[in-house]
Amino acid sequence: MAPSAPIQVLNVLSKDGTNNATQTFLTTLEGIQISAEACSQEETLQLLSEKTIDVVLLNLPSPNIDGIDLTREIREAHPTVRVLISTSNNRPEDIFAAMDAGADGYILEGNETGLELAIRSVRLGTVWFDPGIAAQVLDTIVAATSNSSTRILQTGLLVLPLMPDDKNLLSTVAGSTCADGVCMVDPAFVKKLRRYAPSEWSH
């Protein structure tokens, strides 16, 4: 059987060089290839129109790139390309903004083992949740829904608090080492979580 084609990654670099270590790590991985590098939104979109890219690895936040806006643009113009957010912080407002923009994976910067698994996982169509990020999402949702049994969204829909099965899944991911694929979640689950973002975080 012929070997599978390498996963083609577009690595979006910060101009300050903060993710050079990530770039170096990616070059050591079998079956994952850095197809191109970009340092701006314009360059990223141009490369996506010129090359066959499977996964865009994007830092959030970046001093020179609006990661949320870029994620939306990629999702609209290149719907088959997967977007993996590598973030240096786990602020819940950034996480929910990335969810709303349609990112396919969320990983904390410096988690090299998780990064490799995340790239391979999002390429298969699942969503990857870093345990640290899952913990922040869980804490935020619990805090947002603990004062009442229901919430009214801007759409006017009545929404119940996070269901026990969903809460248990988030708790499992938050406390895991991502062994046995526990950090791979269904995209429908993320869509459900997006309903619980505080209204002031809407983008």
The domain that contains 24 carries what CATH number?
3.40.50.2300
Residue 144 lies in a domain: no
pLDDT of amino acid 141: 77
Q: Is 69 among the domain residues?
A: yes
161 inside domain: no
Domain count, the chain: 1
Task: For residue 189, count other CB atoms closer than 10 A to its CB.
Answer: 15
Tens of pLDDT along the chain (203 residues) come to 455 789 999 999 765 555 667 777 888 888 999 999 888 899 999 999 999 999 999 877 777 788 889 999 999 999 999 999 988 777 777 788 888 888 999 888 877 778 888 999 999 988 898 888 888 888 877 776 665 444 444 444 444 567 788 888 889 999 888 877 888 888 888 887 877 766 555 54
pLDDT at 78: 95
Give the pLDDT of residue 94.
Answer: 79
Look at residue 101 and give its three-state secondary structure. helix
Distance, in Å, from the CA atom of 103 to the CA atom of 67, rounded to the nearest integer, reads 10
- Predicted local confidence at residue 79, as pLDDT: 94
CA 5, 112, 34, 52: dihedral to nearest 10 degrees? 60
The candidate with the shortest Cα–Cα distance to 59, out of 3, 98, 100, is 98
Residue 91 pLDDT: 76
The two tokens of residue 181 are 């694929």
Displacement of CA 195 from its chain's centroid (Å): 17
Instruction: Give a yes or no: residue 81 inside a domain.
Output: yes
Stated length of the chain: 203
- Please report the pLDDT score of residue 13 as a whole number: 78
Q: Let me know if residue 146 belongs to a domain.
A: no
Helical axes 164-174 vs 131-145, angle rounded to 10°: 140
Domain that holds residue 103: 7-130+182-194
pLDDT at residue 22, rounded to an integer: 73
The verdict on residue 122 lying in a domain is yes
pLDDT of residue 15: 57
Q: Which residue carries 């899944």 as its tokens?
A: 169
pLDDT at position 67: 87
| pLDDT on residue 198 | 61
Which candidate, 45, 54, 56, places its Cα nearest to that of 8? Answer: 54
Query: Is the residue at 45 inside a domain?
Result: yes
Place of tokens 């209204």: 199
Q: What is the pTM of this model?
A: 0.83
Whole-angstrom distance, CA of residue 107 vs CA of residue 38: 19
Residues 6+ away with beta carbon under 8 Å from 163: none
Specify the amino acid at residue 108. Answer: L
Whether 38 maps to a domain, the answer reads yes
